[in-house]
Amino acid sequence: MKKVVLAFFAGAALVRTPLSLQALRAAEVVAWGSNSSGQTSVPAGLSNVVAVAAGYHHCLALRSNGTVVAWGANQYRQTSVPVSLTQAVAVAAGAYYSMALRSNGTVVAWGDNSYGQTNVPAGLSNVLAIAGGAYHALALRGDGSLVAWGRNDYDINQGRVPPGLSNIVAMASGSVHNLALRSDGTVAAWGNNTYGQTTVPADLSNVIGVAAAEIYSMALRGNGTVVAWGPNYRTSVPAGLSNVVAITAGYSHSLALRADGKLVAWGDNSYGQASVPPGLSNVVAVSAGYYHTVALAGLPQGMAAPQLVGPRFLIGTVGRPFCYRIMAKNGADGYTAAGLPSGLV
């Protein structure tokens, strides 16, 4: 994993640049924690996976050919992937529903629709990223704007986007609150604040990633450290945690992925969801569910071709440098860029 800093000097306000994928041999998906609905029983033979997502009691895996595999609870058909779904480039999971982002910038959702969370807004396009809350969903568009739908309690408005919110490069959804990362490295939060989960620390800056749990929030800073806020008993980041490249949060447990491919977990471990399996290494992606965790691991360098993992698009603002951390599995140790839009170097 390498950190690559790019800068816009000209061109449109926001640029959407597809990242090409390379062929890969078998991948490894590992899941642990509660298995009440089979959510940690990874399908046999699952391979060529490039992304994972965890819901309340189910999991999703995105394969390099653009298809999606799902397992676990299916009482709302959240693991019944639409047979027509192809060319997926990202997946997300809510409480009892699932979503996929297709390469053409459109979104597909299936499963529980009790609050309209699978009613993707008509005409929604140019989407770069998706996030699923408990019963609401978010989509990030290429112009840096957010679109929200699903449950929207009148007093907290978790299913609406605050007026004037713009220049967003990443977002996360908790149970009934949301986080949005602006291109200047600051964080906006809205929704339920009963436990202070939307009270962003005043001095928080240089953020490159966000994660939202049931009642708390986390941010990953450019220096590889993690900040959390909300109830104290849920936000105790391990002392000395550093060199972090990705974060995720479940109902009441959290995980940090370090640059060396190792996971650090903390919080509630009543079902073993925060007990990282011994020997698990070369991890390149992780997602925390309700009481379970699913991780994607790669092979050591030289054993298989490198494979890009995570977002398939870059997003940034003209005149404002930004940091994009490229994630890849199977021992990639260098990157180059070709075919960039005019003004992007």
The series of mean pLDDT values per 10 residues for the chain, 345 residues long, is 30 35 51 97 91 97 95 98 95 98 96 97 95 96 94 85 93 96 94 95 94 95 95 88 95 94 95 94 93 89 70 66 68 71 71
Q: What is the pLDDT of residue 331?
A: 67
169 located within any domain: yes
Q: Tell me: the pLDDT tens digits for 82-94?
A: 999 999 999 999 9
CA nearest 313: which of 108, 83, 144, 72?
144
**What are the Cα distances from residue 294, in Å, to 112, 121, 278, 328?**
21, 29, 14, 17
Q: Tell me: the pLDDT tens digits for 209-258?
A: 999 999 999 999 999 999 999 997 788 999 999 999 999 999 999 999 99
9 located within any domain: no
On the CB side of 320, how many CA atoms lie within 13 Å of its CA? 16
DSSP 8: B
Domains identified in the chain, total number: 1
Q: What is the pLDDT of residue 243?
A: 95
Mark residue 40 as left, alpha or beta (left: phi above 0; alpha: psi -120 to 50; beta: remaining).
Answer: alpha
2 located within any domain: no
CA distance 1 to 179: 25
CA distance 69 to 46: 8
Q: Are 43 and 32 in contact (CB under 8 A)?
A: no
| Burial group, residue 218, by CB count within 10 angstroms (0-12, 13-18, 19+) | buried
Measured at the CA of 170, the angle between CA 139 and CA 172, to 5 degrees, comes to 70
Q: What is the pLDDT of residue 6?
A: 32
58 located within any domain: yes
What torsion do the CA atoms of 21, 27, 33, 38 make, to the nearest 10 degrees? 100
Q: Tell me: the pLDDT tens digits for 94-120?
A: 999 999 999 999 999 999 999 999 999
Question: What CATH number has the domain bearing residue 75?
Answer: 2.130.10.30
Q: What is the pLDDT of residue 328?
A: 75
Percent of the chain scored above 90 by pLDDT? 69
330 located within any domain: no
334 located within any domain: no
44 located within any domain: yes
DSSP 175: S
Residue 297 β-bridge partners: 28, 283
CA distance 115 to 95: 12
**Tokens found for residue 12:** 């449109």
3-state class (DSSP) for residue 317:
strand
CA gyration radius for the chain? Answer: 18
pTM of the model: 0.86
CA distance 259 to 278: 18
94 located within any domain: yes
Q: What is the pLDDT of residue 7?
A: 29
| Burial group, residue 11, by CB count within 10 angstroms (0-12, 13-18, 19+) | middle
Q: What is the pLDDT of residue 300?
A: 66
Q: What is the pLDDT of residue 2?
A: 33
Residue range of the domain that includes 269 = 25-313
Parallel, antiparallel or unpaired: strands 88-93 and 97-102: antiparallel
